Amino acid sequence: MAVSTKSLKIHSNAENQMIDLTQETTDFIKKSGILKGIVTVFVSGSTGSIITIEYEPGLIKDFPEMLDRIIPRDLDYGHEQMWHDGNGHSHVKASLVGPSLTIPFMNGKLCLGRWQQIVFIELDTRGRNRDLILQIIGE
């Protein structure tokens, strides 16, 4: 049994951008030499999230639109009254969607469906440098 950790720095360009992390995660498992276990993909920060989704142009619009519908930008957020940084909706979205995803793998291969990718979504109001953690536990 072993733990293997990778710090992954990425850059997003704009609110609602989705970045596919599947290849990066696959490569990291291969490099670790660990054959079966779990990988946790985590975003350090309170305005981004990790999901699985079919990474295609339709859903890349649909998922953020859903979040905008249920958590609109222009409500009267307490966070805005305190800090005036215009991203109250970003925080609420990220807490609902969540910063962490744990995926099993077997024989060195992620147990994902064919149309299921691991994706970071930028929920802040502008592009940002992001610190992600990929951490494998297995044998």
In sequence order, the β-bridge partners of residue 39 are 103, 136
Q: Which of residues 61-90 bind a copy of itself (CB under 8 A)?
A: 61-63, 66, 69-71, 77-83, 88
Query: In 3D, which of 97, 106, 98, 111 has the Cα closest to residue 63?
Result: 97
Considering only the stretches 8-16, 24-32, 94-102, report the one whose residues sit in contact with a copy of itself under the rule CB under 8 A. Answer: 94-102
The dihedral built from the CA positions of residue 29, 34, 39 and 41, taken in this order, carries a sign that is negative
In sequence order, the β-bridge partners of residue 119 are 20, 51
Residue 127 within binding range of a copy of itself, rule CB under 8 A: no
Q: Which of 28, 29, 32, 37 binds a copy of itself (CB under 8 A)?
A: 37
Other C-beta atoms closer than 10 Å to the C-beta of 114 total 5
Binding site for a copy of itself (CB under 8 A): 1-3, 5, 36-38, 40, 42-46, 51-54, 56-63, 66, 69-71, 77-83, 88, 91-92, 94-104, 106, 111-113, 115-116, 131, 133, 135, 137-139
